[in-house]
Amino acid sequence: MSRPVTLFTGQWADLGFDELCGKVKSFGYDGVEIACWGDHLDPKRAAEDPEYINNRKGILAKHGLTCWAVSGHLPGQCVGDLWDPRLDGFAPAQYAGQPEKIREWAIREMKYIARAAHNLGVTVVTGFMGSPIWKYWYSFPQTGEDLIDNAFKEIVELWNPIFDEYDRYGIKFALEVHPTEIAFDYYTAERLLKEFNRRPTLGFNFDPSHLIWQGVSPHVFLRDFKDRIYHVHMKDAALTLDGKAGILGSHITFGDTRRGWNFRSLGHGNVDFENIIRELNAMNYQGPLSVEWEDSGMDREYGAKEACEYVRKIDFSPSQAAFDEALKKS
């Protein structure tokens, strides 16, 4: 199959954009999904400064890379989340400890990202939306339906004005269905689309690694939401339930082998990528397959290169003819 293979730059923000692009090309990738943090992309400058955006395009061209998506995961989280001190690390330092200032900044940032994507020639922004009710996922103390209903309404009120800006620039927003988001599994994703009256601006960044450990079949999610899959992350996870460990992680750091599950480099976990490719073929998805590389037990440069090779190997083309066509009588 000829789908482009890209690398999400979010986990590489310790490297400058030019240096990283050189590595990405050497690993064998076609392009990048650019994160809006570190040195990689400044949303305000990319929205307003033609010289800056030409510099980013020039770096991509120098290394023979293309960009198909821009990531707004961190500011997006700050739009819909209930504040806690962890969000201070996503926002500018001057807003630390000020929930409303952080939210105001995040809303501005997400609007800048729409324009930045347009200036880059990109039509998809991936990201998070946050959630005012994630901490209520287990209903004790008892969670009334009104709390859930009001939270979805709040997300709609916060994000519809942002999506107006995305529509202005012809950009789709692909939410990564993920723990801590308003949509974190199959049924919350279904409800989110309904709450937004199936607004075409909103779709999903499919990432199987966040579904498998919850017990959701990734290929079934793809099949049922095929009209809303705007971007695809290739990422693996391994369940290692041993009778002691559980799926909630036990507050043990990622990578610790005692955990009940961990992210793994592609091909080293339990995600069934063959069925994922079959569903992508069936829905005629022609967008990028973006490797989000996370594996605390493996060298990242080794893993990123191996992951690119793995994606190219498994991304088979659909058949152009029925296998039994030749059996028909003339």
Tell me the pLDDT band of 329, cut-offs 50, 70 and 90.
Answer: low
Measured in Å, how far apart are the chain's first and last C-alpha atoms? 32
Q: How confident is the model at residue 253, as a pLDDT?
A: 96
Q: Which residue is it, tokens 């709609």? A: 156
Q: CA triplet 133, 134, 140: central angle to 5 degrees?
A: 80
Tell me the pLDDT band of 66, cut-offs 50, 70 and 90.
Answer: very high
**Across 254-259, average pLDDT:** 96
- Write the pLDDT tens digit of every residue in 258-280: 999 999 999 999 999 999 999 99
**Considering the domain boundaries, does residue 262 fall inside one?**
no
**Considering the domain boundaries, does residue 325 fall inside one?**
no
- Write the pLDDT tens digit of every residue in 177-225: 999 999 999 999 999 999 999 999 999 999 999 999 999 999 999 999 9
Tell me the pLDDT band of 324, cut-offs 50, 70 and 90.
Answer: low
- Write the pLDDT tens digit of every residue in 19-38: 999 999 999 999 999 999 99
**Across 72-91, average pLDDT:** 97
**Across 150-173, average pLDDT:** 98
Q: For a pLDDT cut of 70, what percent of the chain falls above it? A: 98
**Considering the domain boundaries, does residue 144 fall inside one?**
yes
Q: How many CB atoms lie within 10 A of CB 142?
A: 7
Whole-number Å distance between alpha carbons of 226 and 273: 16
User: What average pLDDT does the chain have?
Assistant: 96
Q: How confident is the model at residue 1, as a pLDDT?
A: 56
**Considering the domain boundaries, does residue 181 fall inside one?**
yes
What predicted TM-score, i.e. pTM, was given to this entire model? Answer: 0.96
**Considering the domain boundaries, does residue 170 fall inside one?**
yes
**Considering the domain boundaries, does residue 327 fall inside one?**
no
**Considering the domain boundaries, does residue 180 fall inside one?**
yes
Q: Which residue has the higher pLDDT, 328 or 123?
A: 123
Task: Count Cβ atoms within 10 A of the Cβ of residue 135 and give its class: 0-12 exposed, 13-18 middle, 19 or more buried.
Answer: exposed
Domain total in the chain: 1
What is the CATH classification number for the domain harbouring 297?
A: 3.20.20.150
Whole-number Å distance between alpha carbons of 202 and 200: 5
Answer yes or no: is pLDDT of 326 > 80.
no
Q: How confident is the model at residue 195, as a pLDDT?
A: 98
Range of the domain at 73: 5-238+271-320
- Write the pLDDT tens digit of every residue in 285-300: 999 999 999 999 999 9
